[in-house]
Homo-oligomer: A and B are copies of this chain.
Amino acid sequence: MTATRAKVPAKRADAQRSIEAILDAAIRSLSRNPEASVSEIAKTAGVGRVTVYGHFPNRADLVEAAMTRAIADGHAGLEAVDLSGDPREALARLIDSSWQLVSQSRSLLTAAQDVLSPGRIRELHAGPVERVEGLVERGRAEGVFRTDLPTTWLVGVLHSIMHSAADEINAGRLTPDVAADYIAATALSAFTPPSLAG
């Protein structure tokens, strides 16, 4: 692979840098405004529209690439969260970090939902979802998370509680500073085995 890499023409390396700059600009622009146009993104990236269209045939392709990149970056950050020890405490730590990402990415997600199918958006999230699933499975095996409902259901519930928090913040009924605590308190109760509840 190193030999191949060394042969990459300078032109291709330039193209790669241009793509990176466009994706960075797309993430920044769409995070401010989910309806940001290709022209705005090009301007933020410091390139012309024609250059953007040279790499991404249409806006939907660009939004999908930006979303893919943002999820990959976020997933890398979540990898740093320590998931060892008590699964309940590990889940609270993971929620705290995940929530920051969900909260920052709301506008980008809105942009993605406008151009991608729910199935495609789920596919893009497969990496982060797998990590949550692994933790939930461990908690079930250790008897601290419920087993009367499927793991996929519990992960879906956690996901929807996070988006509910974002909706409540948008509606002015929740302040961002308490959101992670509310989400964790709710999810941990929802995940508790019924036999352990009152």
Given A161-B157, A168-B152, is A198 in contact with B192 using a C-beta cutoff of 8 Å? yes
A186 proximity list for chain B (CB < 8 A): 149, 153, 157, 190
Q: Could you say which residues of chain B place their CB within 8 Å of the CB of A122?
A: 171
**Residue in B119, B150, B171, B189 whose CB lies within 8 Å of A146:** B189
Question: When A118-B167, A156-B168, A164-B157 are in contact, do A194 and B185 touch as well, CB less than 8 Å?
Answer: yes
Known A-B contacts A159-B164, A160-B160, A164-B159; A174 and B153 likewise in contact (beta carbons under 8 Å): yes
Chain B residue numbers with a CB within 8 Å of A159 are 164
Give the interface size bracket for A toward B: 35 or more
Given A157-B164, A164-B159, CB of A192 within 8 Å of CB of B182: no
Give the number of copies in the complex: 2
Q: A45 → chain B, closest Cβ, in Å?
A: 30
Closest B residue, CB atoms, query A114: B114
The answer to whether the Cβ of A3 comes within 8 Å of any Cβ in the partner chain is: no
A196 within 8 A of B: yes
Interface residue? A163 (CB, 8 A): yes
Q: A167: which B residues are within 8 A, CB to CB?
A: 118, 156, 160
* Residue of B150, B160, B174, B197 touching A189 (CB-CB under 8 A): B197
Q: Report Cα–Cα, A193/B153, bound state, in Å.
A: 22
Q: Which residues of B contact A119 (CB under 8 A)?
A: 171
Q: Determine the chain B residues whose CB is within 8 A of the CB of A171 once the complex forms.
A: 118-119, 122
Q: How far is the CB of A119 from chain B (nearest CB, A)?
A: 7
A173 contacts chain B at the CB level, 8 A cutoff: yes
Of B152, B156, B190, the residue contacting A190 (CB under 8 A) is B190
Given A167-B118, A189-B190, check contact A182 B198 (CB 8 Å). no
Besides the contacts A148-B185, A189-B189, what 5 more A-B pairs have beta carbons closer than 8 Å?
A: A118-B170, A152-B168, A159-B164, A185-B194, A197-B198
